[in-house]
Amino acid sequence: MEKFAHDTVMPYQSSPLEKKEQVAGMFNDIAHRYDLLNKLLSGGIDVYWRKKTLEELKQLHPQKILDVATGTAEVAIMANKMLAPKQIIGVDISEGMLALGFWC
């Protein structure tokens, strides 16, 4: 497998954890405030691009949707309301983010 510069970047050099565990931990730590920060820092554009994306997808009438890096599942939740597919699967490395999305 080809190596890239970002493959060697570690959030915390002194941590005994692998990079994937470190990144998951960082997202777990901010999960409870992630959506608010995303809306504030993007000026609400995050909501716009979700709606625009799903409007584009609507014409395909998808019955199954895979939401990779779903975070708190905002896209999956919106897709369920806008598209009403038979199945939506959301995956993410952060259990904290998934837990928040699961309860929505």
Q: How many domains does the structure of the chain reveal?
A: 1
Tell me, what's the pLDDT at 5? 83
Q: Quick count: other Cβ atoms within 10 Å of Cβ 24?
A: 18
User: C-alpha 101: how far from its chain's center?
Assistant: 10
Q: What is the pLDDT of residue 66?
A: 97
Say if 10 falls within a structural domain: no
Q: Tokens in use for 88?
A: 């939506």
In a domain, 89, yes or no: yes
Kindly state whether residue 22 falls inside one of the protein's structural domains.
Answer: yes
Q: What is the pLDDT of residue 30?
A: 95
pLDDT one-digit tens code per residue, 15-63: 999 999 999 999 999 999 999 999 999 999 999 999 999 999 999 999 9
75 within a domain of the structure (yes/no): yes
Q: What are the Cα distances from residue 94, in Å, to 13, 57, 91, 101?
A: 20, 26, 9, 11
SS3 99: helix
Structure token digits, residue 44: 């609400």
Percent of the chain residues past pLDDT 70, beyond the cut: 99
